[in-house]
Amino acid sequence: MHISFLTPEYPHEKVFHAAGIGTSIKNLAEALAKEGIKVTVFVYGQKTQEILIENEIEIHLIKNKKFRFCGWFFYRKYIEEYCSAIIKKEKIDLLEVIDWTGISAFMNFKVPTVIRFHGSDAYFCHLENRKQKAKNFWFEKLAIKGAKVFIAPTEYAGKISKQLFEIRNKEITTIYNGIELENFQNNTPEIFEKETILYIGTLIRKKGVLELPEIFHKVRNVLPQAKLILIGGDSYDIKTNSNSTWELMQNQFTTDDLKNVSYLGKIPYHEIQNHIRNANVCVFPSFAETFGMVTIEAMALQKAVVNSDIGWSKELIIDQESGFLVHPENHDLYAERIIELLQNDSLCLQIGKHARTTVEENFDINKIVKRNIEFYQKTINQNK
């Protein structure tokens, strides 16, 4: 079997951008390769055009191209032509595509096309109660129409996507994202920096970061030595048209609170684990996710997590057992949960232990990869 992925991101030093989507694809691609499945990854929107080999995976960087008019159409056709040639040459059996802005709209491949709901623009606009551009919905709708079957990383993401795009008579299968547990070890969970709160993710409104200044202020009213560390790239804010969400956050922190905040920006992926191990508590107050890769990474490292309580997160965490679930706008309760953990080391360790067990049972990529292989094989057989 030869499986391919079409994505705008993939963790590699030569790839322009990589976040949770790229991490989940890489985890799956490498697990497939270990199972003897041949894997090709097409990464579009890149600065260069080249082919890379890493961990037996062939990565094709597809250079971003500009056109005088209708670039949204002609660049898609260019991607289609490139991928189709490789699919034919390498005898690829199936192509998996992301849903974001409907990149596969106007494309037609001679192998089955699967869309995995990593998070469409329609999905995120729905969760944020934000109006979507009609053009983006049209692209996504066309792409979904051209897919044979669908995978959702949570039942919640599949259910919402099905409603938004009025998907009928097509199967949506839930297969969780996974991580390689051997790469996430914390042999000394009892050692951490007291009263250190860690957030990892893009600084963007939908991730709930603009709720953190008030939450942190309430925490410091009780624990004035508490520190907040932020890791992730800065982002444009769609509501205020500000070029920097970090600037918006700084204006919301009190001057005194800001002295205890450290923004580290984007750091190499391999360095993030050390920050997670060092943290007392990890917080992820997001309004919009389909899964939350960094949440399960923190859980795998036996960290107590205070997470959003919206939809998808209830499939990752059992509240008050493997973490805490709180709505990001409930600042009082969010702060209370953080304080409760910061004041109780044994509770942190207990929740962290349950969190690790949860990841081992539900999000081990070596178990999840077998479900993906079964799904791919079934899809290929049905389209012969």
Phi, psi (5° rounding) for residue 218?
-65, -35
Co-location of 23 and 160 in the same domain: yes
Co-location of 165 and 26 in the same domain: yes
Co-location of 263 and 325 in the same domain: yes
Co-location of 9 and 158 in the same domain: yes
Phi, psi (5° rounding) for residue 367?
-90, -45
pTM greater than the 0.85 cutoff: yes
Cα four-point dihedral sign 342, 249, 13, 22: positive
Confidence grade of residue 303 (pLDDT, cut at 50, 70, 90): very high
Total tally of structural domains belonging to the chain:
2
Percent share of the chain, pLDDT over 70:
100
Co-location of 26 and 174 in the same domain: yes
Query: How high is the pLDDT of residue 217?
Result: 98
Co-location of 47 and 139 in the same domain: yes
Co-location of 73 and 195 in the same domain: no
Co-location of 143 and 197 in the same domain: no
The CATH number linked to 215 is 3.40.50.2000
Co-location of 369 and 358 in the same domain: no
Paired residues of 96 in beta bridges: 5, 114
**Residue owning tokens 């990854």:** 41
Cβ–Cβ < 8 Å for 235, 17: no
Co-location of 173 and 219 in the same domain: no
Which residues 6+ apart lie within 8 Å of 241 measured at CB?
none
pLDDT > 80? residue 115: yes
Summarised one tens digit per residue, pLDDT across range 21-69 is 899 999 999 999 999 999 999 999 999 999 999 989 999 999 999 998 9
Domain, as residue range, for 64: 2-178+364-382
Co-location of 274 and 191 in the same domain: yes
Co-location of 16 and 151 in the same domain: yes
Summarised one tens digit per residue, pLDDT across range 140-149 is 999 999 998 9
327-349 burial code (b ≥16 CB/10 A, e <16): ebeebebbbbbbbbbbeeeeebe
